[in-house]
Structure 1
Amino acid sequence: MRYFLDVAYDGTRFHGWQVQPNALTVQEVLDDCLRKVYRLEEVETIGSGRTDTGVHARQQWVHVDLPQVLNTEEIKYKLNRILPPDIAIQTVCGVGPEAHTRFDAVSRTYKYHITLEKNPFLVHQAYYLSRTPDVSLLNEAAQVLLELEDFTTFSKVKGDTKHYRCTIMHAQWQQEEGQLVFTIKANRFLRGMVRLVVGTLLDVGKGKLTVAQFREAIEKQDRSLASGAAPAQGLYLHRVEYPEQYFAVQQVLFEKVAAEEATKEKE
């Protein structure tokens, strides 16, 4: 049976989401807990997207196949009992066998937090800037992102992506209680893209680049024209969205498969 898990985590001590050799990752810890709770030799979780070292997630949807029909609240309870304090299961949903957290998602939203006041309690949760950038310029440049489609400039050189086109639906900076927060929503993002976008936008806000130069950097599709990536600790995968009524439809499919499994057991 397939389940979607809504996972939140503080990425400070992890080398990103995805399992990799000789480094602690969120996926590795979650998989290990699933194996222990359900006494499985092998388990494979699939996330709705990757997050890099030090990046956080307020919502990372993950799907996993478990051997039987289970109470979703019980899954949540059992996993949260043994997961470390910096990883939490927020919701568990039963879904159909073909549901896929990554391929079925229609949009992802990231938020980037900048603190404008030195705060020892935000060292790993926000990027500290001692001088406030020009917010009006930041937003003027951010609107350029909505007008363009190819973001080769904000892609990593060694990426394995087949194309660099993304549809950005929202990009805006807001000041919130001593912080500057950037929200960006798109159908997809390139690996490392958001931090490169933020780093380059901040150069506009600091007067190092004009809005016209920001546009030109994207249109030339030249990676060397991007500024340095903003630090990881300010970035959060904030929300992953699916088609309208997606979870209602998946619940019906889940119940259908569960009923079929129950019939087989009786036979």
Structure 2
Amino acid sequence: MRYFLDISYRGTAFHGWQIQPNAHTVQEEINRALSIILQQDISCLGSGRTDTGVHALQQIAHFDAELSDSLDQLQYRLNGLLPAEVSINSIRPVKPEAHARFDAVRRTYHYHLHRQKDPFKTGVSYFFSRSLEAAPIQEAIGLMKNWKNFQAFSKVHTDVNHFDCDIYEINWQETNEGYVFSVSANRFLRGMIRAMVGTLLEVGQGRLNQTDLKNILESGERSRAGRAVPAEGLFLTEVKYPESIYLDI
């Protein structure tokens, strides 16, 4: 039977989600814990990769196994084996053909920035003390929301068939402590969100105007957009699926 794992992790201690040689990854830890408990080789597959240092409030991964324990027992045992930086929030049975990556219809990310130095935000928010103008950022957000091709915000040499993304929601919010950028879409390109935030910071500081931003997006050239902000402020916060893929057992 196939199951979806709902996972949270603090990415500071990991070289991202996906297994890679000579690196400590979240997927590796979960595979190890599942294999020990179920006494067979288990390999889970996530909804998408997150880079080194990126966090997740909700990552979804699927795995196949025949279970003797209840789902509550398996969740308890997994959390006992996994490092403190990783937690299993729930386990749900799904249809055999359900796929954590390909069946996801919406993914949401948040990027956090704080204005005052704060040791308790180290690793989970980006310290950015320079002043920003809100109005041009909001105008830039409107342009991005209605755009389709985001090649200018993608890492180069990525193995994708196209650079189109459907943006469902995008916001820049000022808080008491700093700023939160949030974006929901059907898919994201590698490095896209960190490049978006870096470009918005350029806009907010008056280094880029709306014409510049439009020209950057039309060009598809990553080198013309803003720098990628650090990974530490980025969180995968939600992955949505059609309810029809879940089984009620």
Does TM, normalized by the shorter one, top 0.5? yes
Letter in 1 for 2:43: E
Counterpart in the other structure of 2:193: 194
Distance 2:241 2:176 in 1: 31
Q: Give runs of aligned pairs for residues 98-177 of structure 1, distance below 5 A.
A: 98-177=97-176
Counterparts of 2:166 and 2:241 in 1: how far apart (Å)? 16
Aligned to 1:234: 233
- 1 CA distance for matches of 2:75 and 2:232? 27
TM-aligned CA deviation for residue 161 of structure 1:
0.8
d(CA) in 1 for partners of 2:81, 2:93: 21
Q: Distance in 2 between matches of 1:179 and 1:76?
A: 36
> Partner residue of 1:263?
none
Tell me the distance in 1 between the aligned counterparts of 2:208 and 2:88: 42
The aligned counterpart of 1:66 is 65
For residues 129 and 100 of structure 1, the distance between their equivalents in structure 2, rounded to whole angstroms, comes to: 38
Contact 2:145 2:170 in 1 (8 A): yes
Residue 250 of structure 1 and its aligned partner are, at CA, apart by: 2.2
Q: Which amino acid aligns with 1:32?
A: R
Q: Following the alignment from structure 1 to structure 2, what is the Cα–Cα distance between the partners of residues 186 and 98?
A: 23
Partner Cα distance (1:50, 1:156) in 2? 14
Indicate whether 1:12 and 2:8 are aligned.
no
Contact 2:4–2:91, Cα closer than 8 Å, also in 1:
yes
- Deviation of 1:179 after TM superposition, in Å, equals 2.2
SS in 2 for 1:233: helix
* TM-score (structure 1 length as normaliser): 0.90
**How far is 1:68 from its partner?**
3.1
Deviation track 1:228-264 (CA, whole Å, cap 9, x = no partner) reads 1010000000111112x33xx5215xx5xxxxxxxxx
**Equivalent residue of 2:93, what SS?**
strand
* Amino acid of the structure 2 residue aligned with 1:208: R
Cα distance between partner residues in 1 of 2:142 and 2:220: 18
Task: Quote how far apart the aligned CAs of 1:166 are.
Answer: 0.4
Paired AA for residue 84 in structure 1: P
TM-score, with length taken from structure 2: 0.97
CA distance in 1, matches of 2:68, 2:83: 26
Partner of 1:262: none
| CA distances 1:93-151 after superposition (whole Å, capped 9, x unpaired) | 01111111111110100000001111011110000011231122212101111111011
Give secondary structure in 1 for the equivalent of 2:100. Answer: coil
Q: What corresponds to 1:43 in structure 2? A: 42
Q: How big is the shift at 1:28? A: 0.6
CA–CA separation in structure 2 for the residues paired with 1:139 and 1:241: 26
| Counterpart for residue 96 of structure 2 | 97
Deviation at 1:69, TM superposition (A): 5.7
Write the distance in 2 (CA, Å) between the matches of 1:212 and 1:73.
54
The number of residues matched between the two structures is 249
Q: How far did 1:181 drift?
A: 0.1
Structural RMSD (CA): 1.2
Q: Is the 8 A contact 2:38 2:67 kept in 1?
A: no
Q: Which residue of structure 1 aligns with residue 30 of structure 2?
A: 30
Identity, % of aligned pairs?
A: 45
1:177 deviation in Å? Answer: 2.6
Q: Any unmatched runs of 5+ in structure 1?
A: 256-267
Unaligned 5+ runs, structure 2: none
Q: Which runs of at least 4 in structure 1 moved beyond 2 Å after TM superposition?
A: 67-70
Q: Which amino acid aligns with 2:3?
A: Y
Residue type of the alignment partner of 2:63: V
For the residue of structure 1 that corresponds to 2:159, the secondary structure is coil
Q: Which residue of 2 aligns with 1:251?
A: 247
